Structure 1
Amino acid sequence: MLTPFERMIAKRYLWPGKGEAFIALVAGISVGVVMLSVAMLVVVMSVMNGFRGEMLDKFAGLNGHAVVQAYGGKLDNWESVLQQVRETDGVTEASPLIEQPLLASFNGRTVAIYVRGNTEEDIGELQPQLLFGDLSRLQPGAGQIAIGSRLAANIGARVGDTITIINPQGRATPFGTSIRQVGYEVAAIFEIGLYDFDETFVIMPIEDAQTLLLLGDTVGLIEVKVTDPDNVGEILGSVAQSLTGRAQIADWKTINSTLFEALEVERVAMFFVLSFMVLVATFNILSSLVMLVRAKTRDIAIMRTMGATRRSLVKIFVTTGTTVGAIGTFAGLIFGFIVLYFRNPIVDGIAWATGVQIWDPQVRFLTSLPSRVDPWEILGIVALALGLSFLATLYPALKAASTDPVQVLRYE
């Protein structure tokens, strides 16, 4: 704790006098550099956390945290497997699923699509992503489908239009395999937020998908959601052993391993690199304190002759420098949160000013710039900035405490 004398002197040195404008300028620059470095760390790490989190949430919303995939594309006796998965500790939800890449044709245009056969409950979970139409119309045998917004834009389809889905693996005839073509009415248009999914996905009842793909009563996959996505492998370990030779379990880490590993490496690298900006900012604090000590050498000598201890001088200058770092740190937090709040308008403004689309959904997967603040990460950034600011004050403070008043005042 500071004594009233130490607190008064530290406060006085935080606001340099009229003849110390240059020292005040250097101190102001130190505050600004700390603020910008902390704000940049907060913004970059929160955006990267948001990108990873949004990707995981959207992938899990479509494919769950893991899928049980049959060898050969058909899972026989899938009802018993589904029951086993549902009874596994840590599993919150499991449902059958059919996925198959096919072709779709509309108004003379043919595009590649990804047909998904979902249960009624899974189709209902798309309600928050619904743009147009009515998902309740997707009933077995009704010939109704839901398509992604990008797919609808690419082929020019709207709710009520009929598109033709082409299955090259049709029925065998004496003249060869006939291509299966079935017309479906677009009952709904959705937007998940992942560009590739919105551009290719076609959702239909699982019974209609079985009919289209000639699967009979079998399914191809069982999607699974668990309580702890990071430990999905351990949760489903017993199920994987029991299905050896019949099916395999692929979790979200395996399915999207390249993407998520790249994100994790980039996240660690960015934090390491941007931490050097905080280090550079603390050098500014060190330089401003060194200049302050040199400018206040006579004052320090007078305080020593009046009875001020070396400990008091160390506390005064450590408090002065750490306060500068603390002001810059908390100003950086505020500035960083403001940037995060207005991140999408800022991106749009940069794109408008430069004429370059810096957030292209075709490249970034997501349609908007995400953000997710991790409180523990924010505490780590604050601790890093304050810790380096404190370390930067030690040399100038010890230098001030070692001042010999006799040498300084000899010629005064």
Structure 2
Amino acid sequence: MLLSPFERTIAKRYLLPGRSEAFIALVAGISITVVMLSVAMLVIVMSVMNGFRAELLDKIVGLNGHAIVQAYGGRLDDWEQVLQEVEQTPGVVEASPLIEQPLLTTFNGRVEAILLRGNTQKDIRELGEKVISGNMAELQSGASKVAIGVRLAENIGARVGDTITIINPQGRSTPFGTVPRQVGYEVAAIFEVGVYDYDGAFVVMPMQDAQTLLLTGDTIGMIEVQVTDPDEVGEILAPVEQALAGRAVVRDWKTINSTLFEALQVERAAMAFALSFMVLVAAFNILSSLVMLVRAKTRDIAIMRTMGATRRSLTKIFVTTGFTVGAIGTIAGLILGALVLGFREQIVGGISWLTGADLWDPQVRFLSTIPSKPDPVEIAMIVGLALVMSFLATLYPALKAASTDPVQVLRYE
């Protein structure tokens, strides 16, 4: 909608009211602020929710893969053949054998439940990126060394170089019953995945050492699988599930963490719906400010009509004025949202310091830091929603101004 020099001048004049119109300027300023806050809140919330889902999926998949082929009874005897079949399945990027067993560990009189993981050397090397102290390369078969999560290390008070004892209830049989198997392992590395539950329970060792500890021989419990498209993991592994029917079950990341991710999806949709009403409130603020402007400028409108201004010109002037208010608020909201996301950790830390409350408890939130992943498509939709609502809010006041009868207004002037 192109404006003539006359229309542009009048629209600019109405965007910057004089001193005698301070109240109209205040209402317009409030409208800009409300649009800014609504856009910023939508951008911040949606980015954090997207980041939470992406970060959680990345960390969970990084340890458990996109899917797990788990044997009935916990033991997969012919796992080499099954592994080969899985690797040859179209869409599968990588497959690795894995042993996972809940056990107990003790150190200096402290006992904690753990989740023992026996990994291949390749998987152990990949986990080395998350090491915060020690060296993952020391985890070699037969070396009796393990890596533990940082929260577990804090809970039992263990450091690199200490020896922890892992207890396997399925020990050797004696005339007096079964004696639990207790084996000491040196802590070679401490890692931090970023998921509180994992960092507080995982103990990683070479797969051969895990087989020896668990007395399972040359068997494994499961195979973790990486695929090309996580969202299509069920379709990709359908042939594997059919071939292993009765021997093993295929569980993908959606099934394993279904409750968590479904809750995230519902919360994300609910937050987007609720915060969208802020944009509606902002639009009503624009409408009210324009209505007040039209009422205040009724005499000016009548004079412009008598001087030859058309209804179309007046409509364009007031639509431009209101839409500009919405556009300024939208741009300011994007800038504010980017600043808050950029300094989110410092902001939450400052609020926590002032209130004395832990606003981001990793025991509740799973992740130790606040994630953020702005989605350009969603941001474009937020901007579009704000601009469309701003435009619609200008139509009634603009049409009301255009329909002003100069004869009735100027009759007694």
State TM-score, norm by structure 1: 0.99
Q: Give 1:26's aligned residue.
A: 27
Provide Cα deviations, 1:162-187, integer angstroms capped at 9, x if missing partner.
Answer: 11100001133444322111110000
Matched to 1:329, the amino acid is: T
Provide Cα deviations, 1:296-340, integer angstroms capped at 9, x if missing partner.
Answer: 111111111122111111111111101000000010000011000
CA distance in 2, matches of 1:288, 1:159: 66
Instruction: Report the Cα offset of residue 6 of structure 1.
Output: 1.3
CA distance in 1, matches of 2:195, 2:325: 44
Q: Give 1:160's aligned residue.
A: 161
Matched to 1:10, the amino acid is: A
Q: Give 1:191's aligned residue.
A: 192
Matched to 1:208, the amino acid is: D
CA distance in 2, matches of 1:393, 1:231: 45
CA distance in 2, matches of 1:400, 1:89: 66
Q: Is 1:149 matched with 2:162? A: no
Q: SS at 1:225's partner residue?
A: strand
Matching of residues 372-387 of structure 1 within 5 Å: 372-387=373-388
Q: Give 2:246's aligned residue.
A: 245
Q: SS at 1:184's partner residue?
A: strand
Q: Give 1:391's aligned residue.
A: 392
Q: Give 1:331's aligned residue.
A: 332
Q: Give 1:363's aligned residue.
A: 364
Instruction: Report the Cα offset of residue 91 of structure 1.
Output: 1.4
CA distance in 2, matches of 1:214, 1:138: 19
Aligned residues: 412
Q: SS at 1:88's partner residue?
A: coil
Provide Cα deviations, 1:26-67, integer angstroms capped at 9, x if missing partner.
Answer: 000000011011111111111111111111000000001110
Q: Give 1:204's aligned residue.
A: 205
Q: SS at 2:147's partner residue?
A: strand
Instruction: Report the Cα offset of residue 78 of structure 1.
Output: 0.9
State TM-score, norm by structure 2: 0.98
CA distance in 2, matches of 1:7, 1:236: 62
Q: Is 1:233 matched with 2:230? A: no
Unaligned runs of 5+ in 2: none
Q: Give 2:405's aligned residue.
A: 404
Matched to 1:284, the amino acid is: N
Q: Give 1:258's aligned residue.
A: 259
Q: SS at 2:26's partner residue?
A: helix
Unaligned runs of 5+ in 1: none
Q: Is 1:169 matched with 2:170? A: yes
Q: Give 2:8's aligned residue.
A: 7
Provide Cα deviations, 1:99-143, integer angstroms capped at 9, x if missing partner.
Answer: 000000111111111100001110111122101111000001110
The Cα RMSD (Å) is 0.9
Give runs of ≥4 in structure 1 deviating > 6 Å. none
CA distance in 1, matches of 2:173, 2:118: 23
Q: Give 1:63's aligned residue.
A: 64
CA distance in 1, matches of 2:249, 2:15: 65
Q: SS at 1:315's partner residue?
A: helix
Instruction: Report the Cα offset of residue 403 of structure 1.
Output: 0.6
User: Which piece of structure 1 moves more, 253-262 or 171-180?
Assistant: 171-180
Matching of residues 248-287 of structure 1 within 5 Å: 248-287=249-288
Q: Give 2:350's aligned residue.
A: 349
Q: Give 1:117's aligned residue.
A: 118
